Chains A and B, each alone.
Chain A
Amino acid sequence: MLICEEKRRKGCLMHIYLPIAEVSVNAFLLLGLGGLVGVLSGMFGVGGGFLMTPLLFFIGIPPAVAVATEANQIVASSFSGVLAHFKRKTVDLKMGTVLLIGGLVGAALGVVVFNHLKALGQVDLLVKLCYVLFLGIIGSLMFIESLNAIRKSNSGTAVPKKRKHGLVHKLPFKMRFRVSGLYISVIPPLIVGLLVGILAAIMGVGGGFIMVPAMIYILGMPTKVVVGTSLFQIIFVTAFTTMLHATTNYTVDVVLAVLLLVGGVIGAQIGTRIGVKMKAEQLRILLALMVLAVCGKLAFDLLVMPSELYSLGVGGH
């Protein structure tokens, strides 16, 4: 915990007491963390929630506050993004709404699961296991895929584009999604939305890193509408999650959210500029490595014997 000692008092004038987290943290540290994650999210076009939430754990923010506040921050950081996508008309509102319906149900389920496990004292484990599992899978898939892409672009052969007619075309309740140019069943998008909603509530992430691959590979949506549509859905799901956490757990810290946000928005602008200068495959392989690094660190913590076997929970069961 970042408690300042009397001796260093002069150096910590910028400490700020967070009203809900009830800890005092250096404001510049929070701005810096926001900025760092912002640079990465701008570079890679991801929300960065999956990096920010574990970082908040590391600096001593209580996990429940970190998860709830991060949801609040994602709403804000996605907002300016979705405005830009609306201007470019790269949001599939119909698909977004279907995903959203699944997402809201999922978020409600996720908060119920979260609160139940919190009572059992297993919420940290659940959050960490979710991180290890999903970051591990997504990171490995991305790493392999981008390695292949680099190898192919080096050998000069074009990637053949296949139009798959899989399960998404066989299921009932078909609907036409004009912006995406799809005529598919609503069941797969509902399920994708539901699963991402559950994860958003439990992990304190927007879920873009799962949603984007799912939209491309499972639903077969064109890449240009994927980011805008997922941002559209994420805003509403995380706003809903924020409200659920704020009303049931009282764990949304608005001061923390604003500090992270200001750093994050500035960082994102810088990140976008860096991202433009790099090749897509290089970006993806870097992102994959970063995802795997976070996954590795969390897995390591679960597998290695902790230095303190005991932990405290205030308020009892």
Chain B
Amino acid sequence: MIRILLAFIFLTAPLHAEEVVLGLSKDRVDITTSFNGSEILLFGAIKREEAIPDGPPIGVIVTISGPLQPVTVRRKSNRFGIWVNTAAIEVDSAPAFYAVASSAPLNETLNDVEDLRHHISIPRAIRSVGAPDTITDAESFTEALIRIRTASGQYQLLENQVAVDSQTLFRTSVQLPSALVEGDYTTRIFLTRDGKVISQLETSIDVDKVGLERWLFDLSRENAVLYGLMSLAIAIFAGWSASAVFSLIRQ
């Protein structure tokens, strides 16, 4: 029993030899009417009780993940001369936003087993279970999802973007796009040595619509009839007053 306990302590001890301490430039993002994207600055330090271990330098990986949503990926093909959606795959959960920043190329800082366990790289952050029997190339659908979202800035692979000083201090910044979905943005920091995760920390950034945006959005969902009538009234009034003003100017 004591032997097992000792072995346990021996095995877990290195996990706590180096720990991560984190600071965020902000832990909430307000979506206001003038919201046009936001930059999040992440900085931190590696706390240790002993000297810096020998061997390969420490790796730091930072991920920010937006709310998970199911996504339907559709593919067009040519039918009767026009391009029509003919095949679709439902991806069970994909983050609306995902950024992964690392201190070195990701395949050097992280091995596949750890990636599989912690869902760190972009393809691993997406969970897709079943594809219909009619579709044999399900991977090309998830690749397309990553390609489209990378092009729009929703998915970001930021290799070598985490700056590490003296194996102790690190910092990085992530640009959140203007087309941002509300929710809790899970932020994770991993310390790795030799491709293995030795310490990790999780926190979250709150992204919320505020003010007028919040009010309009809530009204449109919770009281749709009132929202619809209000939209009509505002639009009619705006249209009528704009033309009234114009005819006043003309006279």
Q: Spell out A's residues near B (CB within 8 Å).
A: 1, 3-4, 6, 9, 12-13, 15-17, 19-20, 22-24, 72-73, 75-77, 79-80, 83, 121-122, 124-125, 239, 242-243, 246-247, 250, 252, 254-255, 257-258, 261-262, 264-266, 268-269, 302-303, 305-306, 308-317
Docked pose: A75 CA to B180 CA in angstroms: 30
Can you list 30 A-B contacts with CB-CB less than 8 angstroms, sorted by A residue number?
A3-B37, A3-B177, A15-B178, A17-B33, A19-B220, A20-B216, A22-B180, A76-B238, A76-B240, A77-B239, A121-B88, A243-B228, A243-B232, A246-B227, A250-B224, A252-B220, A252-B231, A254-B230, A261-B238, A265-B243, A265-B246, A269-B250, A309-B144, A310-B147, A311-B85, A312-B71, A313-B72, A313-B74, A314-B69, A315-B72
Q: How large is the interface on B (under 10, 10 to 19, 20 to 34, 35 or more residues)?
A: 35 or more
A17 near B34 with CB under 8 A, answer: yes
Q: Say yes or no: A6 contacts B39, CB within 8 Å.
A: yes
Residue contact A305 to B175, C-beta cutoff 8 Å: no
Most A C-beta atoms less than 10 A away, residue of B179, B213, B235, B246: B235
A3-B153, A80-B240 are known contacts. Are A17 and B213 too (CB-CB below 8 A)?
A: yes
A20 to B73, CA, bound (A): 22
Chain B 20-45 interface mask (CB, 8 Å, partner A; 1/0): 00000000000111111101000000
Establish whether residues B232 and A242, one from each chain, have CB atoms under 8 Å apart when the complex forms: yes
Q: Which of B37, B147, B175 has the most CB of A within 10 A?
A: B37
Question: A269, B243: Cβ atoms under 8 Å?
Answer: yes
CB nearest to A128 among chain B residues: B82
Q: Nearest chain-A residue to B76 (Cβ)?
A: A309
Instruction: Determine the distance from Cα of A20 to Cα of B180 in the docked complex, in whole angstroms.
Output: 12
- The answer to whether A4 touches B37 (Cβ under 8 A) is yes
Beyond A255-B216, A309-B77, whether A4 also contacts B83 by CB under 8 A is: no
Contact present for A9 and B36 (CB under 8 Å): yes
Q: How far is the CB of B77 from chain A (nearest CB, A)?
A: 7
Given contacts A80-B239, A265-B246, contact A312 B178 (CB under 8 A): no
Query: How far, in whole Å, are A264 and B82 apart by their CA atoms in the complex?
Result: 34
In the complex, residue of chain A having the shortest beta-carbon distance to the beta carbon of B96: A314
Instruction: Tell me if B234 is interfacial: C-beta within 8 Å of chain A.
Output: yes
Q: Are B230 and A1 in contact (CB under 8 A)?
A: no
Return B128 CB to nearest CB of chain A, in Å. Answer: 12
A residues in contact with B135, CB < 8 Å: none
Interchain pairs with CB closer than 8 A, number:
193
CB-defined contacts of A305 to chain B, threshold 8 Å: 78, 83
Closest Cβ of chain B: how far from A131's Cβ, in Å?
A: 13
By CB atoms of chain B within 10 A, which of A24, A250, A266 has the most? Answer: A24
The 9 closest A-B pairs by CB, nearest first: A246-B228, A76-B239, A310-B144, A24-B178, A76-B235, A265-B242, A316-B70, A313-B72, A80-B243
A311 and B74 within 8 A (CB): yes
Residue of B nearest to A238 (CB): B232
Chain A residues with CB under 8 Å of B145's CB are 310, 312
| Cross-chain contact A246 with B224 (CB below 8 angstroms) | yes
A311 nearest CB neighbor, chain B only: B74
User: CA separation between A23 and B177, bound complex, in Å?
Assistant: 10
Q: Is B116 an interface residue (CB 8 A)?
A: no
* B residues less than 8 Å from A13 (CB atoms): 34
Say yes or no: B227 contacts A3, CB within 8 Å: no
**Residues of chain B contacted by A4 (CB below 8 angstroms):** 36-37, 178
B236 located at the interface, meaning its Cβ lies under 8 Å from any Cβ of chain A in the complex: yes
The yes or no answer to B117 lying at the interface (CB within 8 A) is no
**B228 near A24: Cβ-Cβ < 8 Å:** no
By beta carbon, the residue of chain B nearest A83 is: B240
Q: In whole angstroms, what is the CA distance A265 to B212 when docked?
A: 24
B98 within 8 Å of A by Cβ? Answer: no
A77 to chain B, nearest CB (A): 6
Q: B225–A243 contact, CB under 8 A? A: yes
Q: Which residue of A lies closest to B241 (CB)?
A: A265
The answer for the CA separation of A192 and B132 in the assembled complex, in Å, is 43
- Known A-B contacts A17-B31, A266-B242; the reply to A309 vs B75 at CB < 8 A is yes
